[in-house]
Structure 1
Amino acid sequence: MVASVLPSPWSEAAKGVLRLARVPVLAVRYRSGDAETAAWMGASNVPVVRYDDELPRTGWAEITQLAARLAPDRGIVPSDDAARVRAFGLLHEIAGEDGLGWNARAWMIHAGLESGGARGFPLPVARYLSSRYALTSDAATRAPRRVRAVLSLLDAELARARAAGHAWLLGDAPSALDVYAATSLTPLVLRDDAECPAMVPSLRGAFASLRDALGDAVSPALVAHRERVIERPITL
């Protein structure tokens, strides 16, 4: 189950990781308020991945681990213990609580509430998400700082990989880290309407206000890496 409003970084990453793993999937778009589908998927949030009779997976780590288990030779996460610990730490900085995606969303929620919907999310969306995620004023205030901090971290990781002669963040082949980095950068850099024609105008406006607020915080190297992920082995 994935989000019906495009692009959700977490839903797009789940699709991308499973595609990288070459695991056949049936993607179903979930619309808020669809009680029957929510009951079937066993959760009230997306993405949700169901596999055989196992419990539904809703977290980025559980979904990533499932993809790695189903495709052990595809390099979804490193096989080396120390490298895998590092990879999951970086993934958490991108997709976990208080990570890049979390704080970019908090930033757009706060901007929508503060501006009456002129910036960030439209006011009804901002109010709904603020309540859903129990956004506090402290969290909203620190969101811009955390977004910039994680961007700096990713930029340094990319520079480290390049200096070691690697084409991707963790080596010579794409991994879940590349996928999550690319999808989480989308709200921060997306400018071409053709890349995501199904995006609703209000969401496009929220992303635009986030880009304006960030300025040049997303380095050209990160922008180029995102484009490479999208253009090469994975279509997100």
Structure 2
Amino acid sequence: MNYLTVAEARARSGLRLVLSAHVPGPWGEAAKAVFAVRGVAVQPVAQEVFGDNDDLHAWTGHRNAPIAVLDDEPPVAGWLDLLMLAERLGEGPSLLPDGSADRALVLGLSAEICAPHGFGWARRLLMLGSRFGGADPPPGTPASILAACRRYGYGAAAVANAPARMADILRTLTAQLDRQRASSSPYLVGERLTACDLYWSCFSNMVAPLPPADAPMPDAIRDGYGALDPAVAAALDPALLAHRDFIYRHHIGLPLDF
């Protein structure tokens, strides 16, 4: 993918989407999928993973990705605000059901996947924990990584609790998918694609990366994603991965471009 620099992006109008450059960050991949399915064109802007990103912070007030900036509107960050922006700008079928009960279910499942202390958050804590053996960061740890630890609530207790949290969410998604399969629907909620289908598909790569031909991520990231706690591995039902593959084939598209 060809990325704009922050300086280039600031000089442009339209929708600019800040992404972690050249890595398949699940929040960024999900944002790309949401905008693409809604038919919204974006201009990708590079954020440096574990970099200081001072120029990005000066522009948007954020150092992380994804962030969306539309013309002169305030920057938008966070999975829910990005989804609502895509809903506002996009066309065609909504990624949210019309009915309130199903809409709440889609948003609730999506939050369990994307929101702070959800699936992706817990997986990130485990990956930080693998770096430090579950202990506190040792002296000499780069400042950018220390900042990430503080930002994400890293600590021994948080790391210890993460596998159970992830396993619980996986079981919840499996149970919901089983209910849908009983009514012959291939989607997590209702009879058509919704946001939570996209979110699960993108975040599934944190525990079961797509093949290299479909997601040519760096080996270090692939190895980190593929190393699973036994409780997480036991809760990862093959049906969830079959659902993921269906969504990628029919709605997101492969191979990934990052």
TM-score range, shorter chain: 0.7 to 0.9
Gap runs ≥5 in structure 1? 117-122
Query: Distance between the aligned counterparts of 1:213 and 1:146, measured in 2?
Result: 10
Q: CA deviation at 1:226?
A: 0.6
Q: Please give the per-residue CA displacement for 1:23-71, whole angstroms capped at 9, x wherever unaligned.
A: 1111112112332233223311110011233221111011111112223
- Partner residue of 1:222? 240
TM-score (norm 1): 0.88
Query: Distance between the aligned counterparts of 2:161 and 2:209, measured in 1?
Result: 23
Q: CA deviation at 1:233?
A: 1.7
Query: Distance between the aligned counterparts of 1:159 and 1:183, measured in 2?
Result: 20
Query: Distance between the aligned counterparts of 2:134 and 2:243, measured in 1?
Result: 33
Aligned length: 229
Q: CA deviation at 1:213?
A: 6.9
Query: Distance between the aligned counterparts of 2:211 and 2:230, measured in 1?
Result: 15
Query: Distance between the aligned counterparts of 1:129 and 1:209, measured in 2?
Result: 21
- Partner residue of 1:26? 43
- Partner residue of 1:17? 34
Aligned pairs for 1:156-175 within 5 A: 156-175=175-194
Gap change, CA 1:88 and 1:22, over 3 Å in 2:
same
Q: CA deviation at 1:5?
A: 4.6
Supply the AA of the counterpart residue of 1:226. Answer: R
Q: CA deviation at 1:85?
A: 1.5
Q: Bigger CA drift: 215-224 or 202-211? A: 202-211
Supply the AA of the counterpart residue of 1:215. Answer: A
Structure 2 residue 114 is matched with structure 1 residue 95: yes
- Partner residue of 1:185? 204
Supply the AA of the counterpart residue of 1:101. Answer: G
Q: Please give the per-residue CA displacement for 1:171-215, whole angstroms capped at 9, x wherever unaligned.
A: 222111111000111110115222222x23322221122377733
Query: Distance between the aligned counterparts of 2:241 and 2:172, measured in 1?
Result: 14
- Partner residue of 2:19? 2
Q: CA deviation at 1:72?
A: 5.7
Query: Distance between the aligned counterparts of 1:127 and 1:38, measured in 2?
Result: 18
Q: Bigger CA drift: 144-153 or 166-175? A: 166-175
Gap change, CA 1:178 and 1:57, over 3 Å in 2:
same
Gap change, CA 1:126 and 1:193, over 3 Å in 2:
farther
Supply the AA of the counterpart residue of 1:174. Answer: L
CA contact (8 A) 2:102 2:190 kept: no
Structure with the bigger percentage of strand: 2
Query: Cα RMSD (Å) of the superposition?
Result: 2.2
* SS at structure 2 position matched to 1:79: coil
Query: Distance between the aligned counterparts of 2:39 and 2:231, measured in 1?
Result: 37
Aligned pairs for 1:23-62 within 5 A: 23-31=40-48, 32-62=51-81
* SS at structure 2 position matched to 1:189: coil
- Partner residue of 1:210? 228
Query: Distance between the aligned counterparts of 2:46 and 2:181, measured in 1?
Result: 37
CA contact (8 A) 1:68 1:74 kept: no
- Partner residue of 2:10? none
CA contact (8 A) 2:118 2:165 kept: yes
Residue number among 125, 129, 135 corresponding to 1:110 in the alignment: 129
Query: Distance between the aligned counterparts of 2:229 and 2:71, measured in 1?
Result: 41
Structure ranking higher on relative contact order (CA contacts 8 Å, 6+ apart):
1
Structure with the bigger percentage of helix: 1
Q: CA deviation at 1:128?
A: 5.2
Identity value in percent: 31
Q: Bigger CA drift: 79-88 or 146-155? A: 79-88
